[in-house]
Amino acid sequence: MDLKALKDSIREVAFAHGFELCHVTRPGFPDKHRSGLDAWLDSGMQGDMDYMSEPVRRERRKTPASLLPEVKSVITVALRHSPPAYSLEETTQHREQGVIAAYACGDDYHEVMKKRLKRLAAELDRLLGPHEQRVFVDTAPVLEHALAEQAGLGWQGKHSLTIHRELGSWLMLGEIFTTADIEPDEPAAFHCGSCTACIDICPTRAIVAPLVVDARRCISYLTIEYRGFIPRELRPLMGNRIFGCDDCQAVCPWNRRAVAPEPDLLAPRGENLLPGLVRLLALDEAGFRERFRKSPVKRTGRAGLLRNVVIAMGNSGHVPFIEPLQAALADAEPLVRGHAAWALSRLAGHGSRMEILAALQQALDAEADSAVTEELRIALEQTRKTT
């Protein structure tokens, strides 16, 4: 089998397993990605993801060949998911509901892709002969967008995500590192031009420069990866986003023609499309685990998700939220109690000021957690100033 026929066969197998794109590169990329990673980490833009700055992990990200002895090729694949089921304007019209990023409205892509990548890797033994290989889906120190660009799968856009000319950026990436020698594809060219739509739309101004996202300000990081109390100055900017954020992709011109894939292996579940905030806040631990059993949302844990939910309630201006937020002041999780106090102070100007003051004071008198105590004190102060 000649080299072109071999690669065509690999792509056919990849397509048969549900991947819409399949490209190949050597285990490396230009120095701009290494220097960019160093500058990003040295600036502390990884936030609390300290593992990324560990010397061994940092060097592995910069040196893909270190992930598999004698690796010769990296097969990069993409699985497409449905675009958001609603426009940015529509999300602001439903402030009693939460917004979950489009990729997370169905099954967990890690599980879906990992199974399919392993099956693909097994079939490659038939095409390439026995060889060593490792599969990755966002679970290892891999600069996946840099590798995808080098493989010609798509270029890294100014929002830092991979963009394909025909399919846009609603893509999840995976890689197979292999010791098989496969002819590489040509790198992708950059096609963002002078467009800054993604930078301009970011609610928290997290895209501080083209291809540079400060995780400490990014709603996706704050609502998913971050485990602490979200900075107060960023909470109002989160709106009703409770898991991730699609704004930078939603305005990208390359996504104008994006449609749902067929079949859609990450098909959104109806209950995850603008879910009601009150019902989510009512979830206990068992209810949370059942509700998000096969969903990426389980990554936040109940405390993280309900923290995001009460922030969305505080941003809603919706007076009926006052009662469930008062109940949340007694939640078992400090994260929920503290952010519920903030949310109530935000709603005090919409009515029930005295009721909110009484609830906050009662919670403060009973509170033992120092971080929550601080939130309650500030919330009381803000509520007293409300007219």
What pLDDT tens digit does each residue of the chain (387 aa) get?
688 889 999 999 999 999 999 999 999 999 999 999 999 999 999 999 999 999 999 999 999 999 999 999 999 999 999 999 999 888 888 889 999 999 999 999 999 999 999 999 999 988 988 899 999 999 889 999 999 999 999 999 999 999 999 999 999 999 999 999 999 999 999 999 999 999 999 999 999 999 999 999 999 999 999 999 999 999 999 999 999 999 999 999 999 999 999 999 999 999 999 999 999 999 999 999 999 999 999 999 999 999 999 999 999 999 999 999 999 999 999 999 999 999 999 999 876 899 999 999 999 999 999 999 999 999 999 999 987
Buried b (16+ CB within 10 A) or exposed e, 283-306: beeeebeebbeebbbbebbbbbbb
| Residues whose CB falls within 8 Å of the CB of residue 178, separated by 6 or more in sequence, listed in order | 68, 71, 72, 73, 74, 75, 121, 124, 128, 131, 132, 133
Q: CA 199, CA 207: separation in Å to the nearest integer? A: 6
Please list the residue range(s) of the chain that carry CATH number 1.25.10.10.
279-387
Strands 171-178 and 162-163 come out as unpaired
Phi/psi at 195 (5° precision): -60, 135
> Comparing C-alpha atoms, which of 230, 269, 275, 216 is closest to residue 97?
275
Whether 138 sits among the annotated catalytic residues: the reply is yes
Helices (H), 67-156: 88-92, 109-128, 144-151
Task: Please give the helix or strand (H or E) that residue 250 lies within, else none.
Answer: helix 247-250
pTM above 0.85, yes or no: yes
336: Cα within 13 Å, side-chain hemisphere: 24
According to DSSP, the β-strands at 171-178 and 73-80 are antiparallel
Beta bridge partners, 78, equal 21, 173
Fold of 279-387: Leucine-rich Repeat Variant (1.25.10)
| Residue 136 falls in which region: left (phi positive, over 0), alpha (psi -120 to 50) or beta | beta
Helices and strands, number each (H, E), in the chain: 16, 10
Q: What angle do CA 184, 190, 191 make, to 5 degrees?
A: 130
From residue 255, how far is each of 103, 229, 333 by CA, in Å?
14, 34, 39
Return the axis-axis angle of helices 55-62 and 31-42, rounded to nearest 10°. 150
Question: Among residues 38, 48, 107, 138, which one is catalytic?
Answer: 138
CA distance 127 to 10: 8
Dmax (CA) for the chain in angstroms is 79
> CA-CA distance, 6 to 23, in Å (whole number)?
12
